[in-house]
Structure 1
Amino acid sequence: MKVLKVVAEGLTTSFRYPHFMQGIHPTFEMPPPATIYGLICSAMGEWIEPNGIEFAYHFSHKGSFDDVEHIHVLAPSTGDLPGTKTPKVLAGTVNPFKRSMLFKPKLVLYLNKPEWQCAFKSPFYPVVLGRSQDLFSYTSVSVLELEKAERAYFEHTIAPYKMMLRMGRGYVALMPRYLDYANGRQPTFARYVILNRRINNTEFIRYEDHPEYNNFLIDPTSPQIENAHLGLWFHNFVGEYDDQPSLA
C-alpha cells in the first residue's frame, strides 16, 4: 500500500472536548478524526470530499500543562447610553478558565493519497493543529510503501472501538469524527480507543472460535522494537464504522 507520510511538529496544541463550555477546557490526548480532516483541508485549500480518504497516525508530545485563557461573554445592555440615541449596546464580562495543553506535539500522519504530496509541501493555508494559534510546521513529506507483517506494535494512536476487548489497553473516548461544513457544521461522533501505551500484537487477548488478527500494515521505516515495526490502523471520516465491541 503506497501512502503519503507527513510529519508535523509544533510547540503547543490542545484538542478541546466539544461539550465543555466554561470553567475548564480539557484536551483529548490524541487528535480527533475531525481535526485531521481540517488539517487536510487547510493543506488542500478547500473543503474536500471526505469519501474515500483513509488515514492513520502516530501522535506524541513531551508533556501536558494547564494554561489560563479568558472568554468575553457579550450580551445586550439595558437602557440608552447617556447623551446618545443608541437604544442598546453590547456589554460583556470576562470569564477566565483553564485549558489543558500538550507541549511539543508531533504528528506522523499517513494518508492513502500519495498524489497530495505537492499540496502538503506547499500548503494553501498556515499549518495549525488544534487551536487556530497553535502553529505547526511540516518537517517531512514523503511517499512511502507500507508492508504487511504478522507482527506489529501499536502506540500513541487511536484504535477502532471493537479492538478494546482484544487489547485490554488504553481507554475509550467519544470523539468528533467529521464536521459537515455543507450542512451547518453538523457533527458526527464515534467511539475510539485512545492507545497511549505500546502494545505488541502478541499481547492481544485471544478468544476461542474467533479469528485472530495476524496481518498488519506496518511502516518499515519506523523503529524496530522486539522484532516488530509500528503497526497502523486506518480510519475514515464518513461511511460505516463499527462502533460496537464484538468478538466476531
Structure 2
Amino acid sequence: MRVLKVVAEGLTTSFRYPHFMHQVHPSFPAPPPATIYGHICSALGEWFDPNGVKVAYQFTHQGVARDLEHIVVAKPASGKLKLGGTLHSKVLEGNINPFEREIFFRPRLTLYINRPEWLPMFRSPRYAVVLGRSQDLFTYTSVEVIQLEQSERAYFGYTVLPYEMALQARRGVTVLMPRFIDYNRNRHPNFQRYFVVQDPVLLPNEEGLRFAGVRYGPYWIDPTAPKFRDAPLGLIFLSFVGDEE
C-alpha cells in the first residue's frame, strides 16, 4: 500500500472543544478528523471530495500549558463619541471576556494519506500551513511517498482510533470529535466517537487477553518509523464520510 507521509511541526496549537464558550477552552488531545480535512484542503488549495480518502496520523507534543486570551463580544452601539472635538456616532461597543486556553507546546503531526499523487501539492502548499487555530503556523519538515507493509503485531500510540478498537487497545479515552464539516450544508458538523490512545499500546496485547468476535490484525505498519519494544508502528486509517471499515 503506497501512501503519502507528511511530517508537520509547529510552536503551539490547540483543538478547542466546540461546546465550551466561556472562561476556559480545553483542547482535544489530538486533532479531530475534521481538522485534518481542513489541513489537507489548505495544501491542495480547494475543497476535495472526501469519499474514498483515508488518513492515519500521530500527534505528539513536548508539553501542555494554559494561555490567557480575550474575546471581545461586540454589539451595535447607541449614542455619540467625541473625537478631536467632533461628535461621531458609535458603531460598536462590547465587553472584553478573558478566558484560559489549553495549548500544546512544540506539536508534531505525522500524517498518512492514501493519495500518493498529492505529493507535489504538499511540497508546495497553496496556503499557509496551519493546524488548529489560524495563528498556529506549521512547517512541513518531511514529505515523501512510502510503501506500507502488514504485520500481525504492531504498536499504536499518540493517535486516534475508531471507537470499536477500544476493546483491543483498552488504554485510552473515548472522545466525541467532529468528523467532517459539510460546507455545502452551511458548515453542518458531523460528530463521531473515537478512541484516543496516547501512551504506546501493543496489539495483540501482551497479556494474551482477547475478546470473541473482535478482529486482531493484520495491521498496516510503517517500516520507516522507529519501533517500540521491537514492534513496528501500526496505522489505522479513518475516513471522513461513510462507514468505517
Match of residue 229, structure 1, among 221, 229, 232:
232
Kept in 2: contact 1:165–1:205 (CA 8 A): no
Spell out, residue by residue over 1:184-232, the C-alpha distance to the aligned partner (whole angstroms, 9 max, x if none): 1111000101101111003174124x25412000000111222310000
Alignment length (residue pairs): 240
* Shift in Å, 1:61: 0.3
CA distance in 2, matches of 1:43, 1:99: 27
Match of residue 213, structure 1, among 216, 219, 231:
216
Kept in 2: contact 1:32–1:175 (CA 8 A): yes
Q: CA RMSD in A?
A: 1.6
* Shift in Å, 1:26: 0.5
Give the TM-score taking structure 1 as reference length. 0.92
CA distance in 2, matches of 1:85, 1:59: 51
Q: Which amino acid aligns with 1:110?
A: Y
Give the TM-score taking structure 2 as reference length. 0.93
Q: Which amino acid aligns with 1:206?
A: R
CA distance in 1, matches of 2:15, 2:31: 6
Unaligned runs of 5+ in 1: 243-248
CA distance in 2, matches of 1:211, 1:134: 39
User: Residues 85 and 157 of structure 1: is their aligned pair in 2 closer, same or farther, counting only changes over 3 Å?
Assistant: closer
CA distance in 2, matches of 1:124, 1:138: 13
The alignment partner of 2:7 has SS state of strand
What is aligned with 2:127? 125
What is aligned with 1:50? 50
Kept in 1: contact 2:204–2:216 (CA 8 A): no
Higher strand share: 2
User: Residues 54 and 14 of structure 1: is their aligned pair in 2 closer, same or farther, counting only changes over 3 Å?
Assistant: same
Q: Does 1:168 align with 2:170?
A: yes
Match of residue 106, structure 2, among 94, 104, 107:
104
What is aligned with 1:92? 94
* Shift in Å, 1:80: 5.0
Spell out, residue by residue over 1:68-124, the C-alpha distance to the aligned partner (whole angstroms, 9 max, x if none): 1101110122345577584x6311111111000000000000000000000000000
Q: Does 1:65 align with 2:69?
A: no
Kept in 1: contact 2:168–2:203 (CA 8 A): no
* Shift in Å, 1:181: 1.4
The alignment partner of 1:41 has SS state of helix
Spell out, residue by residue over 1:100-150, the C-alpha distance to the aligned partner (whole angstroms, 9 max, x if none): 000000000000000000000000000000000000000000000000011
Spell out, residue by residue over 1:15-54, the C-alpha distance to the aligned partner (whole angstroms, 9 max, x if none): 0111111111111110000000011000000111111110
* Range that drifts further, 4-13 or 74-83: 74-83
Q: Which amino acid aligns with 1:207?
A: F
The alignment partner of 1:20 has SS state of coil
Match of residue 145, structure 1, among 140, 144, 147:
147
CA distance in 1, matches of 2:62, 2:133: 18
What is aligned with 1:246? none
Q: Which amino acid aligns with 2:181?
A: L
Q: Which amino acid aligns with 2:151?
A: A
Kept in 2: contact 1:15–1:131 (CA 8 A): yes
Q: Which amino acid aligns with 2:162?
A: P
Kept in 2: contact 1:206–1:212 (CA 8 A): no
What is aligned with 2:12? 12
